[in-house]
Each structure stands twice: as C-alpha cells, then as structure tokens.
C-alpha cells in the first residue's frame, strides 16, 4: 500500500532534540509528497484522536528549542488492548497510512504493539537515559550529558574551595549510562551505577582515601537507579562523618537534565534519524527502529530492540576507576 499520509508522535519522557527530529520528519515527508499529521500528547492523544495537520511552516523556528512542541504522555497508558483498538480506529478514520513514534524503550514497546496489530510503524530512539538498544546514542542523551557535566564542573569549583566531598545524583532510570559518562568526563573519584554492585562502605572508603591522598575535593557521581541513591549514601556518611575527612554535601540534578536547547550533536542526530525514518516508512519498511551504529544510520526490528535492556560499556566503567587516582 502506498503511503500518502503519515502521523508522528512523541511519547514518554521528553528530551532535548525532539523538536528538530519533528522538523526533519515533517519536511522530509513533504519533500516526498507525503502529508503529515501531528498527534498531540503521545499515545494518549492517539487514543483520543488529538490530531493536527502539520506543514513545513508549523515546524519552523523550533530546532533550537528543548521539549516537544507536540506534548507527550507516559507511554504506559498505551498498554491495554482497548486503547490500542481506539488508536487504530482513530488512525483509520484520519486516513493515516503509517506512524513515526519518537521516545524511549516504553515507547518502542508501544510501537511494537501497533506493528503486531498490522499498522505500519517506524520508531526513533529519544531519551536522555540512552538505554535503548539498536543505537549508540538516543536523542537527548548528549545534551543531558553536557548539562550534568556542566553541573559537576561547577560543583567541583566550590568543592575545591571548601575542600568538600559531593554526591551528585544523575538521572537515568534503571540505566547507569548517563552517570557513567558524566563521571568519566567529569573526572569523578567514583561512579555508582545499577550495573555495578557496591557497598556503602566502598563510598566511605573512597572519600577517606581521597582526603588522605591530599585531594582538594572528592566527587562521587551516583545514578538515580543505583543500589543506593545519593540520599541513602548521604545518610550513611552522616553517621560516619568523623572518618570521612571531607565534609559531605549532596546535589540531585533532577529534571534540569531533561530541558534546554539541544546540543549540535543531538540536533544532527535528530535530523538524520527523523529524515531516515520517513524514507524507510515510505519505502515500505515496517516494525523497525532507526538508530546510529558507528557512523551509519541503520534500521533494527523493534522486536529485537525491546528484547533485552541495553548494556553499559563495562570497559568505560573500569577506565573511570583506573583514572580516579
Ligand atoms: O527517562 C527519562 C527520565 O528523565 C529518567 O531519567 C527519569 O528516571 C524519569 O524520566 C523521570 O520521569 P518523570 O519526569 O516522570 O519524573
């Protein structure tokens, strides 16, 4: 079946780069003679039929803006069969022949459900967590990493002036990818992530060792999904403050990591993935997610993408440990 009109939605958590991706989707589709309908508020909007017609002008002036101009909603709401049926009904009524979905692993699961119901779907990975298999980087990760890194650099300035240890908690849900890369790039003394087990005492020892070595600060980057989060570690260290050497402070970076103008890398990634996704959908490809592997843009079956969680690069973890001397 020829594709004459496609829909596009952003689902789950937003991230910097979603807007340039939407711009690329819309303009590539128009250049191929395909109409585009925007779905507001992700899968929730799909189930409610919240559609708007998009033109080249409706996506003008947005490439530098964070968030997603279409809005989004938690992808978990798409789980029920009833909701999926409503979505299909709305898509058919609006004469939409194919759908592009932008989001994280939950969104890719929703896309796979639609694919299994026979609707043409292509996914694009967008999440600051960078935990979606089938791509080296997801849209939003690079900007969030730079935001976290900027915060770590600033914290290091004040930590050094007052000779303090800081616990810096970074987002990432169940993944330690963002924390690991922020810790490595930020020269952290220790990185605590869900993928590598650690004891509270390991953190205490790292802080004491840094003090005894004569360091002027000690930065511990903690992934929010680690076995012990920054609050739990801070509580433990509070009880043993005599042994720490450094005074300990904690900063939870939170949602500042999700906002802001997308980096050049994220804009380029978003643009390449958005354009390629439309080309694949119009060419007849279905049930795949597009991603960047090496320097190639490739398509991977959604079934493969959602089969296993993405592993961290253990070599990077050991490198961070080795360099934290
Ligand atoms: O998936 C992106 C993310 O920012 C995670 O890193 C974080 O755990 C989660 O979303 C926060 O979700 P919410 O905005 O619903 O609190």
The pLDDT tens digits of the residues spanning 30-43 come to 999 999 999 999 99
Please name the residue whose Cα sits nearest to atom 15 of ligand 1.
Answer: 13
Please tell me if the CB atom of residue 73 comes closer than 6 angstroms to any atom of ligand 1.
Answer: no
Whole-number Å distance, alpha carbon 172 to ligand 1 midpoint, is 7
What atom in ligand 1 is closest to the CA of residue 258? 4
Query: Which atom of ligand 1 is found nearest the CA of 172?
Result: 6
* Residue 74, pLDDT above cutoff 90: no
CB of residue 125 inside a 6 A radius of ligand 1 = no
- Residues near 99 by beta carbon (within 8 Å), at least 6 away in sequence: 6, 7, 8, 9, 39, 91, 111, 114, 119, 120, 121, 122
Tell me the average pLDDT across 53-76. 95
- Residue 114 C-alpha to ligand 1 middle, in angstroms? 24
What is the spatial distance between Cα 161 and Cα 220, in angstroms, rounded to a whole number?
17
* Ligand 1, atom 9, residue with closest C-alpha: 173
Q: What is the mean pLDDT of residues 297-317?
A: 97
Residue numbers annotated as active site:
129
Mean pLDDT of the chain: 96
Token digits of residue 139: 């849209």
Give yes or no for residue 173 CB within 6 A of ligand 1. Answer: yes
pLDDT, mean of residues 236-254: 92
If you average pLDDT over residues 267-273, what whole number do you get? 98
For residue 206, give both structure tokens: 């790292």
Q: Specify the residue with its C-alpha closest to ligand 1, atom 7.
A: 173
CA-175 nearest atom, ligand 1: 6
- Ligand 1 atom at shortest distance from the alpha carbon of 104: 1
Q: Whose CA is nearest to atom 16 of ligand 1?
A: 255
Q: Separation of 174 CA from ligand 1 center, angstroms?
A: 10
Residue 56, classed as helix, strand or coil, is coil
Of the candidates 316, 314, 313, 297, which has an alpha carbon nearest to the alpha carbon of residue 134?
297
CA nearest to 85, candidates 138, 132, 59, 49: 49
Cα–Cα distance for residue pair 116/1, rounded to 1 Å:
17
Task: Calculate what percentage of the chain has a pLDDT beyond 70.
Answer: 99
For 55-127, list the strands marked E by DSSP.
Answer: 98-103, 121-125
Q: Reply yes or no on whether the pLDDT at 283 is more than 90.
A: yes
Decide: 292 in ligand 1 pocket, CB within 6 A.
Answer: no
How many Cβ atoms are within 10 Å of 260's Cβ, its own excluded?
16
From 258, 260, 309, 310, the mutation candidate for ligand 1 (largest count of ligand atoms within 8 A of CB) is 258
pLDDT reading at 75 higher than 80 = no
Rounded to whole angstroms, the Cα distance separating 124 from 105 reads: 10
Output the CA torsion 14→15→16→21 (10° steps).
-70
Residue whose pair of structure tokens reads 């050049």 in the numeric block: 264
Is the pLDDT at 123 greater than 70, yes or no? yes
- Position 192 scores a pLDDT of 98
Supply the pLDDT for residue 171.
98
Whether ligand 1 lies within 6 angstroms of the CB of 128 is answered as yes
Residue nearest to atom 8 of ligand 1 (CA): 173
Length of the chain, in residues = 325
Measuring CA to CA, which residue among 275, 177, 184, 158 is closest to residue 225? Answer: 177
Predicted pLDDT of residue 77: 65
User: How many angstroms separate the CA atoms of 192 and 229, rounded?
Assistant: 8
Q: Which of 12, 129, 141 to mutate to test the pocket of ligand 1 (most atoms within 8 A of CB)?
A: 129
Both tokens of 136, joined, read 């080296």
């Amino acid at each position: 079946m020829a594709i004459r009109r496609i829909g596009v939605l952003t689902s789950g958590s937003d991230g910097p780069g979603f807007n340039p991706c939407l711009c690329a989707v819309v303009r590539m589709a128009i250049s191929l003679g395909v109409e585009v309908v925007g779905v507001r508020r992700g899968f929730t909007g799909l189930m409610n039929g919240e559609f708007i017609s998009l033109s080249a002008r409706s996506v003008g002036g947005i490439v530098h803006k964070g968030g997603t101009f279409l809005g989004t909603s938690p992808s978990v709401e798409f789980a029920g069969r009833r909701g999926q049926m409503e979505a299909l009904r709305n898509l058919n009524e609006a004469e939409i022949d194919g759908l592009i979905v932008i989001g994280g692993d939950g969104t890719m699961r929703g896309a796979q459900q639609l694919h299994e119901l026979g609707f043409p779907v292509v996914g694009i990975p967008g999440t600051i967590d960078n935990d979606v298999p089938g791509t080296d980087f997801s849209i939003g990760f690079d900007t969030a990493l730079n935001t976290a890194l900027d915060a770590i650099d600033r914290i290091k300035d004040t930590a050094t002036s007052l000779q303090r240890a800081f616990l810096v908690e970074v987002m990432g849900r169940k993944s330690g990818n963002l924390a690991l890369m922020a810790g490595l790039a930020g020269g952290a003394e220790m990185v605590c992530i869900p993928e590598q087990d650690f004891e509270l005492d390991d953190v205490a020892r790292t802080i004491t060792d840094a003090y005894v070595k004569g360091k002027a600060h000690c930065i511990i980057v903690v992934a929010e999904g680690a076995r012990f989060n920054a609050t739990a570690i801070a509580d433990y260290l509070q009880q043993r403050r005599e042994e720490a050497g450094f005074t300990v402070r904690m900063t939870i970076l939170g949602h500042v990591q999700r906002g802001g103008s997308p980096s050049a890398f994220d804009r380029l990634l978003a643009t390449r993935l958005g354009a390629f996704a439309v080309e694949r959908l119009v060419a007849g490809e279905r049930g795949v997610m597009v991603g960047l592997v090496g320097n190639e843009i490739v398509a991977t079956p959604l079934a493969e993408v959602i089969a296993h969680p993405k592993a961290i690069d253990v070599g990077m973890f050991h490198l961070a440990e080795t360099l934290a001397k």
